């Protein structure tokens, strides 16, 4: 799945006033709790490498909110390889409260203007705020048209983040001073899609909210006076928060901090949930736990499902090879169940980055430099190659060719720890046209058959190919089917706008661009 692009990640930190400092605070003290943000962002760097940034609140300086953001990885943006420059940045942007963001563009350009957090200065402190956004609004085209229907309005950016900015500003306009819950309740009525938010204003108030469907994960924890939140639990665990203190923010609720207290309030009913199953299968850090489900154990069970379906003859020359790194848990579990070795036949170059979030270079070129087949491991072997998924097939084709030419594998049987992707995602993953999806051309009715898998194997240059059936996903994650968003593997969307975009995607060519962008331009 290394040619797939993800969305974004959020972090937040707040040391409450009063009481003893938390032992998890940085040595500089509670007034520099913001120093923890770069560490947290490093732990969720897997969610976006295009840009990173943070906004810090400090009541003891005239610049109440200070934002630092730039295009690049977390280490690059915060100059973490240069101690002097990093310390200078931390001193300039210090405070007891901060929010952070890592980004990949699911829509909009790849430049600093689209980096987050997005800050909106104002003379009134309660209207001066910054926020980060994780997800994607499926009804972005409609919201954009509503704003531009007034000739006095203008949008400087071509993405849904600015639409959210204007929606928040509208709720804060005038003399009214709505509560955080009232603002979020109104937004929930207007937004269709995935929209986790982390917001910090010049009064020192923080809001961390999860949309009513809970499509994207969001975790939080408190230790003494220190409160933190992040898209993944690993960012909290590595700060030192005890595992038992880390909780998932329920869909339709928000963590609200006023400086002295932190509380969770419900702002919208959540009669149904639609957690993105891909978070467990691929996107999240394997060390994370989301909605009380372990990412590692979910992937392990996917591998056991693959083993249960395996029919390839097993002999002394049969080995399982994972595509590094996120396939390893599934591959190891599959090999264990089949009583055959799981070997590192592919070595990943750690310094090329993740190709699915590199929009500048060609996927093929990046795939060729990303993995090195080991001839000593692969030569003459019947290889069961385990991968998370096949989206566009670019990486898989390159990989199979190199495993034969450089690795001299005798046979390659591709096993995918996921059902085939047949439909686009409009909730924060960059696959919004049907033509670009490898499996859709072989499965016109959506039915997974042995004949279709044989055709796909021949197209890729493999001896065989097998996907997991759809029902394996819910079993492996251990959540009810009705609680998962599986739109990209079923074609059934959890929101009206998502369903409308899917119908449009089925009728248009990929040359028209991303579905939501072509609609927005109308």
Spatial CA neighbour of 37 closest among 230, 232, 244 = 230
Do 341 and 481 share a domain, yes or no?
yes
Q: Which residue has the tokens 């957090």?
A: 117
| Of the candidates 122, 255, 192, 146, the residue with the CA atom closest to the CA atom of residue 426 | 192
Q: Is the pLDDT of residue 156 over 90?
A: no
Cβ–Cβ < 8 Å for 184, 254: yes
Would residue 363 count as lying in a domain? yes
Residues 416 and 476 in one domain: yes
Q: Is residue 370 part of a domain?
A: yes
For the stretch 406-428, pLDDT in tens is 999 999 999 999 999 999 999 99
Is 26 a domain residue? yes
506 shares a domain with 457: yes
Same domain, 115 and 50: yes
Q: Are residues 405 and 319 in the same domain?
A: yes
The strand pair at 97-103 and 51-57 is best described as antiparallel
Tell whether 374 and 244 lie within a shared domain.
no
Q: What is the mean pLDDT of residues 488-515?
A: 83
8 is catalytic: yes
Whether residues 224 and 351 fall in one domain: no
Where is the domain boundary, 272, 303, 334? Answer: 272
Range of the domain at 214: 8-134+194-272
Counting other chains too, the contacts that 479-483 makes at CB distance below 8 Å and 24 or more residues apart are: 479/275, 479/291, 479/293, 482/272, 482/273, 483/272, 483/273, 483/274, 483/275
Q: For residue range 464-498, list pLDDT tens digits in order.
A: 999 999 999 999 999 999 999 999 999 999 999 99
Angle at 135 between CA 130 and CA 139, to 5 degrees: 100
Q: Of these residues, 8, 25, 107, 276, which one is catalytic?
A: 8
Report the CATH number at residue 89: 3.60.20.10
The mean pLDDT value for 375-394 works out to 94
Alpha carbon separation from 494 to 4, 214, 300, 456 (Å, rounded)? 21, 11, 27, 29
Q: Answer yes or no: do 236 and 358 share one domain.
A: no
**Domain for residue 495, yes or no?**
yes
In a domain, 207, yes or no: yes
Peptide bond into 117 cis (omega under 30): yes
- Top pLDDT among 365 and 301 is at 301
Strand partners, 11: 100, 230
The pLDDT value given to residue 105: 59
Residue 85 and residue 214 share a domain:
yes
Q: Which of 241, 272, 303 is the last residue of a domain?
A: 272
Residue 147: inside a domain: no
pLDDT above 50: residue 4: no
Pair (227, 324) in one structural domain: no
> Does residue 150 belong to any structural domain of this protein?
no
Q: pLDDT at position 253, please?
A: 98
Residues 12 and 120 placed together within one structural domain of the fold:
yes
Kindly report the pTM of this predicted structure: 0.92
* Per-residue confidence (pLDDT) for residue 392, from 0 to 100: 85
Mean pLDDT value of segment 220-243: 97
Count structural domains, the chain: 2
Model confidence pLDDT, tens digit, residues 334-377: 999 999 999 999 998 876 654 444 443 455 677 777 899 999 99
Distance CA(502)–CA(520), nearest Å, equals: 15
Give Cα 517 to chain centroid, integer Å: 20
Do 424 and 298 sit in the same domain of this protein? yes
pLDDT tens per residue across span 65-115: 999 999 999 999 999 999 999 999 999 999 999 999 999 855 545 678 789
CATH code: domain of residue 472: 3.40.50.2020
- Residue 449 placed within a domain: yes
């Amino acid at each position: 799945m290394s040619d797939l692009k993800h969305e974004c990640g959020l972090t937040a930190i707040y040391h409450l006033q009063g009481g003893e400092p938390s032992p998890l605070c940085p040595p500089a003290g509670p007034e520099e709790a913001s120093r923890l943000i770069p560490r947290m962002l490093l732990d969720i760097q897997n969610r976006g490498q295009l840009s990173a940034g943070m906004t810090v609140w400090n009541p003891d300086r005239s610049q109440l909110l200070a934002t630092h953001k730039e295009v690049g990885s977390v280490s690059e943006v915060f100059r973490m390889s240069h101690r002097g420059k990093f310390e200078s940045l931390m001193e300039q942007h210090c405070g007891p409260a901060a929010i952070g963001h890592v980004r990949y563009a699911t829509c909009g350009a790849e430049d600093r203007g689209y980096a987050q957090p997005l800050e909106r200065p104002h003379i009134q402190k309660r209207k001066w705020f910054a926020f980060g956004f994780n997800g994607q609004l499926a009804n972005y085209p409609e919201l954009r048209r509503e704003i531009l229907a007034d000739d006095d309005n203008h949008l400087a950016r071509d993405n849904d983040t600015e639409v959210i900015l204007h929606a928040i500003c509208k709720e804060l306009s005038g003399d009214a001073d709505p509560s955080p819950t009232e603002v979020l309740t109104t937004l929930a009525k207007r937004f269709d899609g995935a929209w986790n938010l982390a917001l910090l204003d010049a009064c020192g108030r923080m809001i961390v909210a999860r949309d009513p469907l809970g499509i994207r994960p969001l975790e939080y924890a408190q230790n003494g006076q220190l409160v933190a939140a992040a898209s993944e639990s690993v960012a909290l665990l590595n700060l030192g928060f005890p595992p038992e203190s880390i909780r998932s923010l329920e869909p339709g609720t928000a963590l609200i901090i006023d400086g002295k207290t932190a509380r969770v309030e419900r702002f919208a009913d959540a009669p149904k949930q639609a957690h993105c199953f891909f978070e467990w299968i691929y996107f999240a850090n394997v060390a994370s736990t989301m909605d009380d489900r372990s990412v590692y154990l979910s992937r392990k069970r996917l591998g056991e499902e693959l083993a249960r379906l395996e029919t390839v003859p097993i002999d002394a020359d049969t080995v399982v090879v994972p595509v590094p790194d996120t396939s390893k848990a599934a591959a190891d579990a599959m090999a264990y169940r089949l009583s055959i070795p799981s070997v590192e036949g592919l070595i990943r170059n750690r310094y090329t980055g993740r190709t699915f979030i590199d929009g500048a270079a060609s996927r093929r070129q990046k795939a060729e430099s990303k993995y090195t087949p080991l001839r000593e491991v692969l030569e003459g072997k019947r290889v069961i190659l385990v991968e998370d998924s096949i989206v566009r097939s670019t990486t898989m084709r390159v990989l199979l060719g190199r495993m034969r030419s450089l690795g001299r594998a005798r046979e390659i049987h591709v096993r995918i720890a996921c059902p085939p992707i047949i439909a686009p995602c409009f909730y924060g993953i960059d696959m919004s046209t049907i033509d670009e999806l490898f499996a859709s051309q072989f499965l016109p009715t959506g039915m997974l058959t042995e004949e279709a898998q044989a055709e796909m194997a021949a197209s890729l240059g493999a001896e065989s190919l097998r996907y997991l059936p759809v029902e394996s996903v819910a079993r492996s994650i251990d959540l009810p089917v009705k609680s998962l968003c599986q739109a990209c593997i079923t074609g059934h969307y959890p929101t009206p706008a998502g369903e409308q975009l899917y119908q449009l995607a089925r009728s248009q060519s990929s040359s028209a661009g991303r579905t939501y962008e072509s609609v927005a331009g109308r």
